[in-house]
Amino acid sequence: MTPRLIASDLDGTLVRSDGTLDDRTRRAIAAAESAGATVVFCTARPHRGLAELAEATGHRGVVICNNGAMLWDLHSESVIETSPLEPAIARELVTRLEATLPGGAWAVERTAGFGYEPGYVTRWPIPDDAIVDAVHALIAEPAVKLMLRHDQLTADALLERAREVCGHLAELSHSSRTDALLEISAAGVSKATAL
């Protein structure tokens, strides 16, 4: 019996530490899709960072990205569906977190691209078309992921304090225990629920 759906995490699972896919993995993805299976990749990565994956897979598969807030089609490199944070909720989150955890800097992933506050330091290259503005301007439109970097706290402490203040309003997580970057998605949104 041929599986109808094959889902896998990317980083550290299919994607090697050098950011590549080996030939055997590429062939397996192609064979699965040719046999009629839907191939789904799951990642916290934003959709804007998936061009290399699209190329490596031969533009095969669907990606659950932005921690589950977006479904991205690698065939057409386009959005299938989003589950964004609405502006009113994003404003409440920002207000609560800034009152409790002053000194952080914000960034936002939207369908249209990446935006960040002056002072936000990223650990990856910033796209040329990124928008630099105050957080309240950046969240005037729905956001697929809101991020708060706070270098005065550990990643775990940031997550714990944020959950105390607004864990009931949204999904809160971090991708690294060594990088104090809080990732915020709409309530009920995760890679698991998207799958």
The CATH number that applies at residue 23 is: 3.40.50.1000
With residue 42 as reference, give the H or E element that holds it: strand 38-42
Element (H, E) at 193: helix 191-194
Instruction: Indicate if 71 and 91 belong to the same structural domain.
Output: no
Domain count, the chain: 2
Task: Kindly state the helix (H) or strand (E) to which residue 155 belongs, with its residue range.
Answer: helix 155-166
CA nearest neighbour of 14 among 26, 30, 32: 26
| Of 81, 101, 135, the domain-final residue | 81
List Cβ neighbours of 154 (8 Å cut-off, separation of 6 or more).
Answer: 177, 180
Domain co-membership, 133 together with 64: no
pLDDT computed for residue 71 by the predictor: 96
pLDDT at 193: 94
pLDDT at 48 (0 to 100) = 87
Which CATH number goes with the domain that contains 161? 3.30.1240.10
Which pair of structure tokens corresponds to residue 150? 């706070």
- Per-residue pLDDT for the chain (195 aa), expressed as one digit of tens each? 778 998 988 877 888 888 788 899 889 888 998 999 998 989 888 998 888 888 888 877 899 999 999 999 988 889 999 999 999 999 999 999 999 999 999 999 999 999 999 999 887 888 889 999 999 999 999 999 999 999 899 999 999 999 999 999 999 999 888 889 999 999 999 999 999
Same domain, 125 and 171: yes
Q: Which domain holds residue 181?
A: 87-194
- 102, 117: one domain: yes
Amino acid at 159: L
Give yes or no for a contact between 64 and 194, defined as CB atoms under 8 angstroms apart.
yes
> What is the structure's pLDDT at 2?
77
Residues 68 and 94 in one domain: no
End-to-end CA distance of the chain: 21
**Cβ(181)–Cβ(62) below 8 Å:** no
Do 69 and 92 fall within a single domain? no
Q: Do 58 and 110 reside in the same domain of the chain?
A: no
CA distance 157 to 101: 11
Q: Do residues 189 and 100 both lie within one domain?
A: yes
| End-of-domain residue from the set 37, 63, 81 | 81
